[in-house]
């Protein structure tokens, strides 16, 4: 009797799961999902063409230096680069003396050798770029309860990363009236900012690039909002993968070697089996 009850309960459970699956699949196939504001108004990133794009791409060092300047003067107020060492700036074309001077312009956490207490000191080339906040609690308190993400790997962490960063920086705008008419409940909450390139359309970060000339470039390039956004996107592409040109340069010889080895192996196989005749099928008389 107990065995019968167990079998009946198992069969009932299996049939319930099967029924739920069938009805759910039928509903998904016949009833379209309700449209949401995020689905209707979210935009894919704009096109962004950088010197590092493509199989033969390389770095535009002048643009990377401009992007670093934008990061230092604008983005570093909220975002860290905890995986990038200051000595890596030599890869951007800075001399050793310039890297030391640049590192010294940053303030990093340190320890007083006399008292052992935490303090601050000028940065050194071996230091990593510091966080603007002592901890996540302080970061959230200063940014409408949102913790600014580290930007070291941002262009690797997002689809179309370089274009995503560029689009996000240039995409802040007022909510379209069409959105508010169609989705009245989707009004941007107080303290957030509308940006159609962000997944849920609203983010805590205020527009960081607010006017042309916000940064004065040393090479005389006109610092429009669009130019600054492109430059810092290129810089963050470098921070995410500084060895990318070497990877591409190494990839072509490797592909060439593999192609040569494949051809050589095929020719060797043809040579080895050239004197072997295929066996003939014997047929009964």
pLDDT in tens, 185-223: 889 999 899 999 999 999 999 999 999 999 999 999 999
Which residue has better confidence, 31 or 118? 118
pLDDT of 102: 96
Cβ-contact 45, 165 below 8 angstroms? no
Structure tokens at 80: 């860290």
Q: What is the pTM for the complete model shown?
A: 0.82
Mean pLDDT of 68-92: 97
pLDDT of 7: 81
75 has binding-site annotation: yes
Mean pLDDT of 92-115: 93
CATH number of the domain at 31-81+150-266, please? Answer: 1.10.760.10
CB within 8 Å of 97: residues ≥ 6 apart:
none
Domain ranges of the chain: 31-81+150-266
79 has binding-site annotation: yes
pLDDT in tens, 217-242: 999 999 999 999 999 999 999 999 99
pLDDT of 283: 56
Mean pLDDT of 68-76: 97
CA atoms in the 13 A half-sphere facing the CB of 48? 27
pLDDT of 279: 67
pLDDT of 15 higher than 70: yes
Structure tokens at 112: 């007083």
42 has binding-site annotation: no
Rama region for 253: left / alpha / beta (φ>0; ψ in -120 to 50; rest): alpha
pLDDT band at 35 (very low <50, low <70, confident <90, very high): confident
What are the beta bridge partners of residue 111? Answer: 118
Which residue has better confidence, 27 or 14? 14
193 has binding-site annotation: no
**In 195-241, which ranges are E strands?**
202-203
pLDDT band at 6 (very low <50, low <70, confident <90, very high): confident
- Backbone φ, ψ for residue 111 (5° rounding): -130, 130
């Amino acid at each position: 009797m107990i065995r019968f009850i167990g079998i009946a309960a198992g069969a009932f459970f299996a049939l319930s799961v099967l029924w739920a699956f069938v009805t759910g699949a039928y509903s998904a196939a016949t009833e379209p999902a309700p449209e949401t504001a995020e689905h209707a108004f979210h935009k894919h990133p704009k096109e962004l063409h950088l010197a590092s794009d493509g199989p033969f791409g390389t770095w535009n060092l002048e643009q990377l230096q401009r992007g670093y300047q934008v990061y230092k003067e604008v983005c570093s107020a909220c975002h860290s680069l905890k995986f990038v060492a200051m000595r890596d700036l030599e890869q951007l074309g800075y001399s050793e003396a310039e890297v030391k001077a640049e590192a010294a312009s940053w303030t990093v956490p340190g320890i007083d050798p006399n008292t052992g207490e935490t303090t601050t000191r000028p940065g050194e080339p071996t230091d990593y770029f510091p966080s603007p906040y002592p901890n996540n609690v302080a970061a959230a308190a200063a940014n409408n309860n949102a913790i600014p993400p580290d930007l070291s790997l941002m262009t690797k962490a997002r689809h179309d990363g370089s274009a995503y960063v560029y689009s996000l920086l240039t995409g802040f705008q007022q909510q379209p009236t069409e959105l508010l008419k169609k989705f009245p409940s989707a009004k941007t909450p107080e303290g957030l900012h509308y940006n159609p390139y962000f997944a849920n359309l609203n983010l805590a970060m205020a527009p960081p690039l607010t006017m042309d000339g916000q940064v004065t470039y040393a090479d005389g390039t006109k610092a429009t909002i669009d130019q600054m956004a492109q430059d810092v996107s290129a810089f963050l592409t470098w921070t995410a993968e500084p060895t990318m040109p070497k990877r591409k340069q190494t990839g072509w010889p490797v592909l060439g070697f593999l192609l040569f080895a494949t051809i050589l192996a095929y020719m060797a196989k043809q040579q080895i089996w050239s004197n072997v005749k295929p066996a003939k099928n014997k047929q009964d008389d």
